[in-house]
Chains A and B, each alone.
Chain A
Amino acid sequence: MKGGVSPKTLKITGAVLGFLYLIYGIVETLSWFGRDVSLGVSPTGDIFVGFALLTISAVYLTGLKRAAEKDGRAVAYIYTGAILGMALGALALLVMGADAIEAYLLHSEDFIGWSPLDDVTSYLVLGVLSLAAYLPVKDVSKEPLKVKA
């Protein structure tokens, strides 16, 4: 149905990452309302982080749904979800880099006692995990489509 990637792979990545993003999306949203639940990393308290994570979760889960319906376009959702997830992770890395400059180079007052671990956020970790979803589907576009919807 779609070049190279088995439906099973799509379903598994869609389900696992979809639910991970869902859980952390809920955790981040709760933290904005003042309820801090820490699952490995401390939440940011930024409502938009919650929003972005829930959106990516929806992308992955749509992929899962499409794969379950044997729709050839399922791969598009896993692929795009992975790209969005990784982009968000890359953003977290950039922020960490900027904070490192503040702390180590400029010795800013606000960053006394800062450690890189402070910037390890849910979306950084999930971005790294999205790499696992990206690798199997990254070359799909190089292969001819066998069935076109």
Chain B
Amino acid sequence: MEGTLITLIGNPNVGKTTIFNALTGLKQHVGNWPGVTVEKKEGEFEHGGKRFHVVDLPGVYALTAYSIDEKIARDFIVREKPDLVVDIVDASNLQRNLYLTLQLLEIGANVLVALNKIDLAEEKGIKIDPRELERVLGVSVIPMVASRGEGIKELKDAILKNLGRKPEPVKYPNFEPYIERLIRIIGLDGRLVKEYNPRWLAIKLLEGDEDAKGIVGGSPLRDEIMRELIKVKKELQKKHGDIELALADERYGIISKIAESAIVEREERMTFSEMLDEVLTHKYLGIPIFIGVMWAVFKFTFDVSAPFSDIIDWFFSWLGDSVGTHISNDALSSLLRDGIIAGLGSVLVFLPPIAFLFLAFSWLEDSGYMARAAFVMDRVMHRFGLHGKSVIPMIMGFGCNVPAIMATRTLEDEKDRLLTILVNPLMSCSARLPVYMLFAGAFFAGREGTAITSMYLLGIGLALVIAWLFRKVIFKGEPSYFIMELPPYNRPNWRAIIGATWSRTEKFLRKAGTIIFAGVVVVWLLSVTGPGGYLGSEALENGALLSKSWVAVIGHALQPLFSPMGWDWRAGVALFFGFIAKEVVVGTLGVLYGVGEENLPHVIAASGTFTPVTAYAFMAFVLIYVPCVATIGAIKGEAGWKWALFAVVYELILAYIVALVIVGIGGALA
């Protein structure tokens, strides 16, 4: 690592990402913290002729060792000893934010406070005097409104100016003599003093922190330290009861004094946020509003993105035609036109709706509404053994299950998280929509909307029932406790929103460029070749020729499996390749029926291979059966191979059962 190491820390929702982006601009990269799936963002910038390496720490409320995020943040500051820790404090929420500041000072870090959101504080009627705050904390305080770029330059200057300082530790009057006693003994071990701040170790030992015990456990003086600790703890317990609690109380006492002197004006107002919350979290209005908002999101996603999809569609068909007319080699031109271009085109037409969906979700998240959605939906989710926070990944699943599964990281409890991941593929992602549209258009003309909506509802219903079932059988127990901060509503910060939208959309693009692309080429290859060798590109237009291809071989092998549902070999092939990505189902059927997607509904309806009942069962099967490769990859990444395999198996079984039931009931009614 070159340059001066600085790190950003702060509570969740304080505008840390905004400040990180403002400091580093585009010079940043995202990885994972070693051993865990928590994002690690790093970046660089130059100021005053000095190079700074910036590490963004996870948003935390404190530095205990109870959660992964807090442990990561704490270990980083304790072990890497950054030259400067920029503590981002939400001015509209001063007291709670200062808790973390005190803990940073305990560690002995060189802290610089970025007092963000002073505009929001003023809107709430809170006026803070930054100079006074500086005086009582003993560290520099930079007031800023990062969302408008105010204070960034001042922050950079302050970073430069504050290097090499060592702030005074905060004193805890009721505990000082006891802390001193421990420090005296810890101070005898030269190695400990060199590596850690003895005062911090003393406080953590008093709090009964396991990591601190581990650190001291490696010291030659460990027996002496432990003996003294037990003595000190006994005395303290007599005086204060639970020491960890008493220390927390002490910190809050100090914070109250700090806040009192720094806040120069405060009046109570009904804020913008309070007014919105009054309605959006209302007992009866909350859920209908949530449903309405979701409808608006989908309306925006599909209707507003439509022209962009049309442009992409038009571009690829033009490209395919011109390639077809300019390349004379049959195999090569067919590979380019029918394989690569048609395949990529059929996937990339989904780029606009997916980008729009992510845009809408990023906006809802940034505005603060998503936290309210989790709040109003917790009651419903709880009934099915899910957590309130499961709502967000479940809804994102309507866009694409891959980012949705990644979004489950906000769930702290492992069981809640696994459960949310496992049922997520049942949320009908946008890749399945073309399949529904095709079959609804072919067999349910005039009632397409109802048929398609029923698929989404079936997916939601199954997800809830399966969640309930898994909670009963596999993840026994109640969903973990629900605590979640409800940050004040923000006016949209477009930079942050576009950034989040892009990083999610990019994941889709990467999937389109790799997995789906490869899948489509394989389908093409298996269609134009057979046990007898190369069949020529006419195989794609000529059913008789196609039945000699490898694809037909696979389809016929699978057919017995699907015959109870009344599907022919082509359906089997489509499902087989749909495993690569569900978009491929439509493309494959197009290839197998030898027509473009435009005429496909008529051709399939006329071919007699499906009846409305078997078509409906096919739609349901596509909804439920194996998640696509990218989703399996995401599940593997978040939960491991075992669960990824489990998801594949249970969904296959479920899909088969549901399809059989639909055929059975449909047959009985007919």
Contact = CB atoms under 8 A, between A and B. Distances in A.
A–B interface present (Cβ within 8 A): yes
Interface of A: 2-3, 48, 51-52, 54-56, 58-59, 62, 72-73, 75-77, 79-81, 83-84, 87-88, 91, 94-95, 97-99, 101-102, 105-106, 108, 140-145, 148
7 contacts: A3-B269, A51-B295, A75-B275, A79-B276, A105-B307, A108-B307, A142-B123
Contacts of A48: 292, 295, 299
B303 A141 contact: no
A148 B289 contact: no
B483 to A, nearest CB: 25
A113 to B, nearest CB: 17
A140 B270 contact: yes
Interface string B305-319: 111001100100000
Interface in B284-330: 284-285, 288-289, 291-292, 295-296, 299-300, 303-307, 310-311, 314
A90 B106 CA distance: 50
Interface of B: 123, 125, 267-272, 274-276, 278-280, 282, 284-285, 288-289, 291-292, 295-296, 299-300, 303-307, 310-311, 314
B310 A88 contact: no
A84 B268 contact: no
A83 B270 contact: no
Contacts of B291: 51, 55
Given A141-B271, A144-B268, A76 B278 contact: yes
Nearest to B306: A98
Nearest to A62: B285
Contacts of B125: 144
Contacts of A59: 279, 285, 289
Contacts of B280: 80
Contact of B296 (A62, A91, A99): A91
A98 B292 contact: no
A80 B270 CA distance: 13
A80 B275 contact: yes
A76 B270 contact: yes
Contacts of A140: 270, 275
B288 A87 contact: no
Nearest to B282: A62
Nearest to A83: B276
A55 B292 contact: yes
B278 A77 contact: yes
Most buried by B among A59, A76, A142, A145: A76
**Which of B272, B279, B285, B288 counts the most chain A CB atoms within 10 A?**
B279
Nearest to B273: A141
Contact of A98 (B270, B284, B304, B314): B304
Given A76-B270, A79-B275, A108 B304 contact: no
Contact of A73 (B278, B306, B314): B278
Contacts of B276: 76, 79-80, 83
Ranked nearest first, the 7 interchain pairs of A and B with the lowest CB-CB distance are A80-B279, A76-B278, A76-B275, A101-B307, A52-B292, A48-B295, A55-B288
A95 B303 contact: yes
A144 B122 CA distance: 12
Contact of B285 (A52, A58, A144): A58
B374 to A, nearest CB: 19
Given A72-B270, A105-B307, A108-B310, 12 more contacts: A48-B292, A62-B279, A75-B275, A76-B270, A80-B278, A80-B280, A88-B296, A95-B300, A98-B305, A141-B270, A141-B275, A143-B269
Contact of B267 (A2, A62, A94, A144): A144
A64 to B, nearest CB: 13
A14 to B, nearest CB: 12
